[in-house]
Amino acid sequence: MSNSLLSLSGLTKAYPGVVANDDVSFDIREGEIHALLGENGAGKSTLVKMIYGLVKPDSGTMTLRGAPYAPPEPSAARKSGVAMVFQHFSLFDALDVAENVALGMETPPPRRDLARQIREVSETYGLPLDPSRTVGTLSAGERQRVEIIRCLLQNPQLLIMDEPTSVLTPQEVEILFETLRKLKSEGTAILYISHKLEEIRALCDHATILRLGKKVATCTPSETTARAMAEMMIGSSFASPASKHLTPGDVLLRVDNLTMPAPGAFGTPLRGISFELRAGEVLGFGGVAGNGQDELLLALSGERTSPRGTIWVKGADVSRDGPVDRRAAGFLTAPEERLGHAAAPNMSLTENAVLTAGRRQKLVKNGFINWTRADRFAADVIKRFDVRTPGTHVAARALSGGNLQKFVIGREVAQDPDILVVNQPTWGVDAAAAAAIRQALLDLASKGAAILVVSQDLDELLEIADRFGALNEGRLSALRPVADLSIEEIGLMMGGAHDMEVAHVDG
């Protein structure tokens, strides 16, 4: 158990302007689950890409089972027994499961044998999968199974998993953990990357913590607390959001039996969604990605108008109004996918501010933009939400993901909306900034605004929402007060385990 499988020593990789990894050394032992922890931008991804042969280190060495290991490309890594499950899936939508698996293997067997092997492995590890399904039609959890099975078919010694649970329901997470524990008992080492600290405490034997490219600590997760690990990750302590609860006021937003067809080939239709949102209330919608979140946002923002009589703001039917009219009525939305949807990448922060705040902040007069006011508004957002940027003239794409997220959320919050709908407000944001964004949303609610948070981060919803609902295949579950909900109930509301089964431990 204590033999070292892969040891890294002094790995360094610099990109122009940033040192992604600075002298990182640690060992992964045979048959252990080793966590790699760090904020976004701490250098976790670069590190695993070096292990997988996608990136060459500037200096430093790796040894695999005592022999020098320097894979020039991923196929060499796969031959040495290193396999990787990617964070943003490395799958091909238009190809079927068997073809996707074959693409990740060095010497795939003929198709019929491969299909049989896929069925066998998926049986053994409780990950049911039909080899002939087109990947574009699979749910996020099923897509991940494709990736995992692709790795397992090559009998890896070391399995790298990059944030595997961010797209899974709690039940699916539990089953994934069973699979991983089974692999571990068979002697496979797992390098597990995540920032979900409770999961790491439940699963991992050792943890290595990176901050700004450097290894800052190692610990045994089961013997420490999630908060202590979080503080090691960000290097300081931070305040958790606190809400001042009000009794909910009038109904500001009412959605009445909203049904819409799917917008594209792989989209989700909305099926009879109804809810009411009151002043001073935070409503949270959870659910696994691809169950109608983006489509609901499109309908609420007015990008896709819905049938008459389905969306009511303060008693007025806005179903057929476009985004501009809805904004004028105090109904603001901040979509997911910051670059290209929430922000125009090549435009400056001031220009991006004008795009959504032009009317409400009176930045536009007689068709002309008042740049002085616009600049002041953008600067105000930057200051209030601690956006780290040299100034308002900077192009949106130059900001790091977390900073841009703070800006696009802050831009809406600063307009004092009556109703605010946000999708994935803290996606890719570090823990301290996430806490600040959540606090801003709570403050807005305590001033009497109605807030709908759509998120895949359950911890976030449980922290700030008053009531919770889950989206599953375009349907909304019954809304329940968060105070008396357990994680298991939430998982069932999200559609349960999507027919997964626990790994057959006898194999």
Partner 1 sequence: MDLSNINPILLVASIMISATPILLAAIGEMVVEKSGVLNLGVEGMMITGAVIGFIVAINTGAPLLGFVTAAMAGAVLSLSFGVLTQVFLSNQVATGLGLTLVGLGLSSLLGKPYEGMKTVTLPKLDIPILSDLPVVGRMFFSHDIMVYISLGIVIAVWAFLKFTRAGLILRAVGESHESAHALGYKVIRVRLAAIMFGGACAGLGGAYLSLVRVPQWTEGMTAGAGWIALAIVVFASWRAGRVLVGAYLFGGITVLQLNLQAAGLTWGVQYLSMSPYLITILVLVFISSNRKRSSHDAPANLGQTFHATR
Q: How far apart are alpha carbons 289 and 300 in whole angstroms? A: 18
Which one among 94, 324, 328, 478 touches partner 1, defined by CB under 8 A?
Answer: 94
Nearer to partner 1, 95 or 329 (CB): 95
Nearer to partner 1, 19 or 95 (CB): 95
Angle at which helices 349-357 and 371-384 pack, to 10 degrees? 100
Structure tokens at 340: 């290209």
Q: Render the burial of 235-251: b for 16+ CB within 10 Å, e for the rest.
A: eeebeebebeeeebeeb
Q: How far apart are alpha carbons 324 and 343 in whole angstroms? A: 16
- DSSP assignment of 84-147: EE-SS----TTSBHHHHHHHTSSSPPPHHHHHHHHHHHHHHTT----TTSBGGGS-HHHHHHHH
Residue 215 and residue 24 in contact, taking contact as beta carbons nearer than 8 Å: yes
Which one among 5, 102, 203, 229 touches partner 1, defined by CB under 8 A?
Answer: 102
Least separation in angstroms between CB 155 and partner 1: 18
| Residue 399 in contact with partner 1, rule: CB under 8 A | no
Residue 216 and residue 43 in contact, taking contact as beta carbons nearer than 8 Å: no
Q: Which residues between 258 and 277 bind partner 1 (CB under 8 A)?
A: 265-266
Which one among 3, 18, 25, 103 touches partner 1, defined by CB under 8 A?
Answer: 103
Nearer to partner 1, 137 or 237 (CB): 137
| Residue 53 in contact with partner 1, rule: CB under 8 A | yes
For the sheet with 158-162, list strands across it: 82-85, 158-162, 189-193, 33-37, 206-211, 214-219
Nearer to partner 1, 370 or 400 (CB): 400
Nearer to partner 1, 93 or 317 (CB): 93
Q: Which span sits near partner 1 by CB under 8 A: 41-49, 418-426, 440-448, 458-466? A: 41-49
Least separation in angstroms between CB 297 and partner 1: 22
Q: How far apart are alpha carbons 101 and 153 in whole angstroms? A: 9
Least separation in angstroms between CB 212 and partner 1: 17
| Residue 232 in contact with partner 1, rule: CB under 8 A | no
Q: How far apart are alpha carbons 154 and 359 in whole angstroms? A: 58
Nearer to partner 1, 47 or 449 (CB): 47
Which one among 92, 116, 245, 328 touches partner 1, defined by CB under 8 A?
Answer: 92
Angle at which helices 401-413 and 431-446 pack, to 10 degrees? 10
Which one among 7, 12, 133, 136 touches partner 1, defined by CB under 8 A?
Answer: 136
| Residue 54 in contact with partner 1, rule: CB under 8 A | yes
| Residue 428 in contact with partner 1, rule: CB under 8 A | no
End-to-end Cα spacing for the chain: 21
Q: How far apart are alpha carbons 499 and 507 in whole angstroms? A: 19
Q: How many chain residues interact with partner 1 (CB under 8 A)?
A: 30
Which one among 14, 95, 234, 379 touches partner 1, defined by CB under 8 A?
Answer: 95
* Binding positions for partner 1, rule: CB under 8 A: 15, 45-46, 49, 53-55, 73-75, 78, 86, 88-95, 99, 102-104, 108, 134, 136-137, 265-266
